[in-house]
Amino acid sequence: MRAFSGFYAAILTGFADDGAFDERRQRAICAYVLRQHVDGLYVGGTTAEQALMQVAERESQLNVVFECACEKRLRLIAHVGAASLRSAEHLARAARAVGYTAVSALPPSEDHARGFPAVIGYYKALIQAAGLPMFVYHMPSRERRAFSFEETAALLELEGVAGIKFTCEDLYLFNRLRRAFPDRALLFGKDEIYASAALVGADGGIGSTYNLVAGLYREIHQRVAAGDVEAARRLQAVACDLVTCLLEAGLLPATKRVLGLRGVDAGPCRLPLALGDPAKVAALDRFVASGALDPYLP
């Protein structure tokens, strides 16, 4: 088993009704997630709404989550990426000081770092600041970089890089990386197709829906490893249905809504994030009430 293999909940952030960071609600979210069989937490990433938070708030979250999880002796990965390298380095040093196991970061945008050498420099600076293993982060979108195989390989070859958080549907690229880097931890971030990634060698995953049903993904992984394709397909369909309902209702606010249905005071998301079409929210509620998730809820 590779170091850092396993399943990590990309932890949500607790906000007060007025939008301020709320330590009490953060602890409530952590308590629920930690009732599940997770190997670690991924703190301060996109699921945590980090782009809408100030550096001081992100540092406070790192501290609170560490306090919640330290007795469990879980692996804790701090996402420290920021548009400002200075801010990212500050968070990297804070993560090391608190006691995190590793750090991670989205790459800087093209607007902030022209050319791939600037990306390499960004990650090298964060590795030096943190003094901890680094997980590079591949999540291409309209706003974010898409790396080629050669570029991703160059990142994985950097001294201090332990692996990658791969949040992308490109399983061809993922398979090439698996074969080229047998010693790196490849953690998959697309919950709706996790079984496919497990089939081509994922070491585990980091996901937002792990806040709700982390055990579902562990079971998918185990079924794939055992060659039980029909069971893996059936379980993946449950995950796909959950992700569909959440996306249609507004992913992060909808995930917090499900926690609320489970008795967790998770609070709202930070504006402008909000629940979507009431009909889609009602459909989400019906899905949760159907019992499809019950075997995997803590």
Q: Any idea which residues carry the catalytic annotation?
A: 137, 165
Q: Cα(190)–Cα(139) distance, rounded to whole angstroms?
A: 10
Using H for helix, E for strand and C for coil, what is the string for the chain? CCCCCEEEEECCCCECCCCCECHHHHHHHHHHHCCCCCCEEEECCHHHCHHHCCHHHHHHHHHHHHHHHHHHCCEEEEECCCCCHHHHHHHHHHHHHHCCCEEEECCCCCCCCCCHHHHHHHHHHHHHHHCCCEEEEECCCCCCCCCCHHHHHHHHCCCCEEEEEECCCCHHHHHHHHHHCCCCEEEECCHHHHHHHHHCCCCEEEECCHHHHHHHHHHHHHHHHCCCHHHHHHHHHHHHHHHHHHHHHCHHHHHHHHHHHCCCCCCCCCCCCCCCCHHHHHHHHHHHHCCCCHHHCC
CA angle, 278 then 12 then 253, to 5° = 10
Helix axes 229-249 and 278-289, enclosed angle (nearest 10): 150
Residue type, 190: K
Pairing of strands 185-188, 161-166: parallel
